[in-house]
Amino acid sequence: MLLPAASDIQPMRAPLRLVSLGLATLPVWLSACSGSYRLEARASSADARPARSTYSTDVPISRAPYEQVAVNWKHRLDQAYVYIEHNGDYRTIGQAFSALLEALDTQQIAPTGPMFGLYYDDPSMVAPEALRARACMPVSAETSGRGSLRFDVLPSTTVAYAVVAGAYSEVPRAYPALLDFLRGRGWQLAGPLREIYVNPEAALEGGELLTEVQAPWRGADAPALPGEAR
């Protein structure tokens, strides 16, 4: 299944307060959210288990009260992923993430990175029952899913991004700065907003939760993707 075209994605307006509320208790389940933590495919030997990953960022981490949010842009390569579709109030998307983890375990699929959410609609403009989102996990390109677990690929693109510290319910407070960054350069949102939950195990270890928020965009003066003719 392909992602909706950019024209099918509703424009988003700040502050999008509802986007992450459904993830408020997610870290309780996500001590094992990716192959780099505890959720592991059943490998033929213990040596095949993936090593714990570390996360680094080249932008300052934004913290409450989020009066200043550092934003930059970067290229993203194609990303294969599996997902559970979520239709309805974003505050209940935690159910989709729970189903995603269960499906990965049942189908013995090894993640290749931290889970993420795709959010297609602005809750201030779209009725709760009509909101569209995906609970996602990156996987290898040859992966396939069964049942409600589906496979797709995020295409190469450029994204504006920020890194937000704190509870997942606080993440949307970074959205105004992210979208202002685009508007200030005459760029337009060209896909669903992405929230990458880079270290959910921190909630169980007394650490600081970090989320990388990405807004894909295109504009007349947008830098060309690697290998792309302009």
How far is residue 106's CA from residue 205's CA, in Å, rounded to a whole number? 26
pLDDT in tens, 61-80: 999 888 899 999 999 999 99
How far is residue 42's CA from residue 105's CA, in Å, rounded to a whole number? 9
For the chain, which domains are there? 64-218 (3.20.80.10)
How far is residue 229's CA from residue 1's CA, in Å, rounded to a whole number? 27
The larger pLDDT score, comparing residue 227 to residue 206, is at 206
How far is residue 81's CA from residue 69's CA, in Å, rounded to a whole number? 28
How far is residue 51's CA from residue 37's CA, in Å, rounded to a whole number? 8
Short-list 152, 180, 223, 160, CA closest to 4: 152
The whole-number average pLDDT for the span 119-144 is: 95
Coil, strand or helix: which one is 172?
A: helix
Burial 49-73 (b: 16+ CB within 10 A, else e): ebeeeeeeeeeeebeeebeebbbeb
What's the pLDDT at 219? Answer: 73
What's the pLDDT at 53? Answer: 54
Task: Please say whether the beta carbons of 88 and 131 come within 8 A.
Answer: yes
Q: How confident is the model at residue 54 (pLDDT cuts 50, 70, 90)?
A: confident
What's the pLDDT at 60? Answer: 95
Backbone angles phi, psi at 141, to 5 degrees: -65, -25
Tokens 């714990």 appear where?
52
Q: How confident is the model at residue 116 (pLDDT cuts 50, 70, 90)?
A: very high
pTM, two decimals, is 0.77
Short-list 117, 93, 90, 97, CA closest to 16: 90
Handedness of CA 173, 182, 23, 86 (dihedral sign): positive
Short-list 227, 229, 230, 225, CA closest to 76: 225
The larger pLDDT score, comparing residue 222 to residue 172, is at 172
pLDDT in tens, 8-21: 444 443 333 333 43
